[in-house]
Structure 1
Amino acid sequence: MSSISVVDMDLVLSSVNLRKLVSRCIPKELIPTNWKCKKGYIYWDLKDLLKLAETQLGMFESDQALLEALLNFLRVPGCPNLLQFNIDDSLMALPEYHMSLKGSAFIYKSDIYALTSAIPCPFIDWRRVVVQSALNKFRRNMEIVTFGCEMVDSSNDILEKLAEQFDGNCWDASPCSDYDTKTDFKHAAAGFNIAAQTAEDMYEVVERYMETFPLEENKADYGHMFTWIISTVRFFLNFVEKNFPVTEKATVRLFVTGKENYVMAHELLQSLKNKNLDVSGFEEEIQRMPALSTLEFRDVARKVKIQDMKNIEFIRIQSSTPSLTAIPIPSPDGGYCVRASDALHELLVDMLLAKKVLQTVESEAQLEHLEKYFVSVQNYFDSDRGVFFISLNELNVIKSKWEECYEANLKNSKQAKSVRAVGNEGFSLEDLEKELKYLDLDKVFPDIYTVAEWSYESVLDVKPKESLNQTDMTYMIYQCQIPAQSKDLYQMGIIFGLSVLQERSCGIAKKFEKSSGGKSIGRS
């Protein structure tokens, strides 16, 4: 993948925020009810989660693989706001770099403010929590007001430059030492050209701690903390101005899926207009298109003038298979969207692996309800409309409708079985078939053994039988169930989505072979 991501391995994430992240990335049915998430260290908590879940989370080879899947979501620009993380969490997840066709490195503009997590802090104990919480509030505010899908040129040594900016004692203790009210704080911040609302919001974060650590008893400490907060924000804003100048060229994301390259039509239009490039030949056409419509790259080359193409930075955004949940992508309207095929994948994971509906269905009437549900959401996935993305709000509607359908029509008293543990010697096709029968999947889908043979043989093309593991078994069982839904999926007009899922199924062995030995299985 043409991107570089830096993650501090001493990842700081509170138990409360870790649970929020896990709950967003893993279906609730796969999270053990007795998982406490209170170890205080992310690796211990995730190791505990896998131990309690047993084979329920068999798609993850190790706690490291699970962590990488979570980090893929954590790297989403503006993730702390998206998941409504507690403000006092010191989050160490730094920006992801994407390469343009011309070889330049770019990051999302909103991700600039994630760099605040790498600023060294001179305080300890509760004082450290106070100042980092205030800095987190600054980061959150800036991420909210920064245009979501805009990207900026960034050097690969940006962390080194940041370290140089904040090397040593770079702040003077005098400006705020005697200031101890909100008015004083805002006045001092104004002297450093910090916006009044930003200063007020940061002060309110600090003020929360004054109930536990009274101002009168810790006046000198608060004075030094106020000084550091204001100085650090000003130094950081200077750093941004110096290292992230306004990009002269228009920036447009180029989404790459296999051999296909496409852009979001409205992003293209908006970016070119912002740089006063000529859009007269296609503006009206794009304005009539749905919000998240796409254009193939060759169509862009035909529509945009040759001289204008030279003034556009097309930035590759590689497509990769999510583990369980669709990864949000900043959209041109300032919100988020997901690939429609990824949304379908998340939906089928919830149906087939989490709720295990094909294991518990008891009547033809229930299958009819399932078919009606697919029909009710078909417009969201209709590739004939030229929309290969759906908004995050639409995904939430799709999932909400599914939950309602499941609770009202498909939830049975019958207890679904879990996949049994795979031994250290791998497993055979016969073992896979026995597992499918044990799970009662042959009852609703008698042809599943034919699919199993194809699935198993495709895996053996790239890895030996002896190396097959729990991850392989889990995803083979998942892929074997997808053809059972093929009638509904084709009726929905989402052949593209089904083909993508089948391609993923064919590539399972390669994907999970990379995940062995502690490597990740999520987005790279």
Structure 2
Amino acid sequence: MSKYLEIPEKAMTPMCLHKETTFYVLEEHLHSLLSFEDYPNGSSKGQEEKLIQKLMDTKRKNFRMYGSAAEFAENLKIYRKFPESHLYFNTDVDTYQVDPIIYQSLKNEKYLCKSDLFPILQNMLMGLDEQFTIEIVSIISYFLKIQEERVNGKVEFVRVEETLLEDISKELGEEMAKHDVTAQSFQLAPLLAILDFNQCFQIIQRLCPEIWNDRKHHRVHELITSSCNELPPEMRPVVFSIIAKLVFKSLQSLENVIGKHPELFLPYSETEYNAMPVTVRMFEDGDQRFVMNAELSDALSRRLDWEDDTNTRFTLNMEEVLRKYGNEKIEFIRFPIRRAKHRAVPIKAGGPNDFFILAVDAFFELMTDLILGAQIFQNNDIGRFSLIFHELEKFFKPDCMEPYFIRTKVSELMKRLMQTVTVNDDEKSPVKCIRNAKPDGFSLQNLKNELKHLGLTETFPEIEEHAEIVYEHVDSVKKEEFLRTCDLFDAIEQCQLICVLNRYENLKKFLHNQKGCGRIPGLKCQECDKEAAERVPTNNN
């Protein structure tokens, strides 16, 4: 089974890796971000660290907060891996790039998200013929993504029996062999020899006209051009002939296999297949387990009492779910909340392009954007943000006791809202940048000096009071022998976070109710202290 879950090397592209990087880094770090032009057609598999190092060597100032190239590549590997990631990263012109994930249910059954079956079909095809090149696989992936759109509106799962993927692969191989005879009847080379490049390309496009747009046309045109440029002119018709034959029989084979298994490749609502249990994701975050109210409502086919809006998905804790609906025929799929260091992994919910993260993660991402990206607190008037912080309570709800999700696009709106306060500030002097740590690390005094250098002691007069405990924390979790510049970024961010939260009690209350207090060392939370005191048994002697 595992061989179908790994994207083949030739399908992995530097272009896609670059695009995903632009989503991970702060907006302010994107300016003139170097492309990977030196690797237009090569594989990025196994080259991730090398490619990230290339970015760091060129734009080192903008990448200092992310640590080493190896650390960045590892975090990006975590961040990029989720179903339908190509929709989120806008990488539809690439092949499928992300390994599908096997999930476990509460009954220890194995499940796949339906959308992950389409990259599996791509992987299966590539294992059947060595002639599959990146341009051929790109066309096939465009076709598969069109098929996938039929299930994009639903997050549905299929149970994976031990032989399921092997059986599908066998069927696909049989279909390819069946259509190989038809494909061989394509006597294209003589015809292609008298056509120019664009006319040859049009023949390829006619094999599946519905998949193309301008971006996909440009991408495949560029790939075939690059391949043809490496060959003598008389070989061009042979290249186009091979592409046409493989694309033709691949698309015919895929259509037949998908058509035979509507229960796998279509929403259940469009099939008459009733053998699969109704599934609901059970999100796991530390010791918290919860489900989305909307997904539970769909599974039960009745409206529950919840207050979702366009940008919010509320949840119900699993204990209450089992107490109220434990007798229903629902299979709960264990779905862990995953985080890289600087970003939470997006979660598909709702419509085709709807992705969410937990509200507590949205809060931390927003604060990182404001503190280290926009650097809006490096002035001496924190009071100017009071009204805007109160506006943020519409998104960061202080009275919500259960975890809830926020649409990823909302973070951008909140950041723009905060920046409206400073956009016309002509008197504000340019902000200073965090300086590099010395090769042998930085001390507590160095941290305090940096807070003064950045003007943060004027904005937050008490900020140095938090430096010691923050310093002890970053020193205890450092990845290398000495504290590095990335650790200095972390310390400065955490010091500012404590100061902001101590000024806005409702935000601190939100953070407590969303179990986020422990993510800020040095933050004193009265609610946490009160709960801890209540857990201590009283002495009756």
TM-score range, shorter chain: 0.7 to 0.9
Residue 330 of structure 1 deviates from its aligned partner by 1.1
Q: Tell me how far apart the structure 2 counterparts of residues 411 and 225 of structure 1 sit (CA, whole Å).
A: 64
1:64 aligned residue: 70
Return the match for 1:151 from 147, 154, 157: 157
1:453 aligned residue: 468
DSSP-derived class of the 2:305 partner: helix
Q: Tell me how far apart the structure 1 counterparts of residues 427 and 110 of structure 2 sit (CA, whole Å).
A: 49
1:120 aligned residue: 126
2:342 aligned residue: 324
1:186 aligned residue: none
- 1:352 maps to 2:351: no
Deviates more, 1:52-61 or 1:345-354: 52-61
Tell me which amino acid in the other structure corresponds to 1:78: E
- Pair 1:206–1:350, CA change in 2 (3 A): closer
DSSP-derived class of the 2:158 partner: strand
8 A contact 1:251–1:314 mirrored in 2? yes
Return the match for 1:399 from 415, 418, 422: 415
Q: Tell me how far apart the structure 1 counterparts of residues 299 and 50 of structure 2 sit (CA, whole Å).
A: 45
1:270 aligned residue: 298
8 A contact 1:106–1:151 mirrored in 2? yes
- Pair 1:12–1:370, CA change in 2 (3 A): farther
Q: Tell me how far apart the structure 2 counterparts of residues 143 and 73 of structure 1 sit (CA, whole Å).
A: 22
Trace 1:203-352 onto structure 2 (pairs within 5 A): 209=221, 217=237, 220-221=241-242, 223-234=244-255, 237=258, 248-273=276-301, 283-286=303-306, 290=309, 292-304=313-325, 306-308=326-328, 311-334=329-352, 335-352=354-371
Tell me which amino acid in the other structure corresponds to 2:349: S
Instruction: Give ranges in structure 2 of 5+ residues lacking alignment.
Output: 189-205, 266-272, 523-541
Residue 203 of structure 1 deviates from its aligned partner by 7.3
- 1:379 maps to 2:400: no
Q: Which has the higher contact order (CA 8 A, sep 6+)?
A: 1
8 A contact 1:175–1:227 mirrored in 2? no
8 A contact 1:110–1:142 mirrored in 2? no
- Pair 1:476–1:450, CA change in 2 (3 A): same
Return the match for 1:421 from 404, 412, 437: 437
- 1:27 maps to 2:26: yes
- 1:472 maps to 2:479: no
Please give the TM-score of this superposition, normalised by the length of structure 1: 0.75
Deviates more, 1:258-267 or 1:108-117: 108-117
Tell me which amino acid in the other structure corresponds to 1:152: V
DSSP-derived class of the 2:423 partner: helix
- 1:84 maps to 2:90: yes
8 A contact 2:114–2:156 mirrored in 1? yes
Q: Tell me how far apart the structure 2 counterparts of residues 300 and 435 of structure 1 sit (CA, whole Å).
A: 49
Return the match for 1:140 from 125, 132, 145: 145
2:116 aligned residue: 111
Instruction: Give ranges in structure 1 of 5+ residues lacking alignment.
Output: 182-196, 274-278, 508-524
Number of residue pairs aligned between Structure 1 and Structure 2? 469
Q: Tell me how far apart the structure 2 counterparts of residues 325 and 174 of structure 1 sit (CA, whole Å).
A: 50
- Pair 1:353–1:134, CA change in 2 (3 A): same
Residue 49 of structure 1 deviates from its aligned partner by 1.6
Residue 422 of structure 1 deviates from its aligned partner by 4.2
- Pair 1:325–1:158, CA change in 2 (3 A): farther
- Pair 1:235–1:51, CA change in 2 (3 A): farther
DSSP-derived class of the 1:295 partner: strand
8 A contact 2:12–2:95 mirrored in 1? yes
Residue 454 of structure 1 deviates from its aligned partner by 1.4
Residue 268 of structure 1 deviates from its aligned partner by 0.5
1:368 aligned residue: 383
DSSP-derived class of the 1:380 partner: coil
- Pair 1:39–1:132, CA change in 2 (3 A): same
Q: Deviation digits for residues 162-188 of structure 1, max 9, x if unmatched? A: 76666697453233455799xxxxxxx
8 A contact 2:396–2:510 mirrored in 1? no
- Pair 1:28–1:453, CA change in 2 (3 A): same
Tell me which amino acid in the other structure corresponds to 1:448: I
Return the match for 2:136 from 131, 136, 149: 131
Residue 357 of structure 1 deviates from its aligned partner by 2.2
Please give the TM-score of this superposition, normalised by the length of structure 2: 0.73
2:525 aligned residue: none
8 A contact 2:159–2:276 mirrored in 1? no
Residue 351 of structure 1 deviates from its aligned partner by 0.9
Tell me which amino acid in the other structure corresponds to 1:174: V
Tell me which amino acid in the other structure corresponds to 1:75: K
8 A contact 1:137–1:201 mirrored in 2? no
1:390 aligned residue: 406
Residue 97 of structure 1 deviates from its aligned partner by 2.6
Q: Tell me how far apart the structure 1 counterparts of residues 461 and 489 of structure 2 sit (CA, whole Å).
A: 19
- Pair 1:485–1:141, CA change in 2 (3 A): same
8 A contact 1:162–1:239 mirrored in 2? no
Tell me which amino acid in the other structure corresponds to 2:110: A
2:55 aligned residue: 49
Tell me which amino acid in the other structure corresponds to 1:416: K
Q: Tell me how far apart the structure 1 counterparts of residues 30 and 83 of structure 2 sit (CA, whole Å).
A: 26
Tell me which amino acid in the other structure corresponds to 1:388: Y
Tell me which amino acid in the other structure corresponds to 1:21: E
2:535 aligned residue: none
DSSP-derived class of the 2:37 partner: coil
- Pair 1:477–1:396, CA change in 2 (3 A): closer
Residue 26 of structure 1 deviates from its aligned partner by 0.9
Q: Deviation digits for residues 350-375 of structure 1, max 9, x if unmatched? A: 1111222223x2x42xx333223222
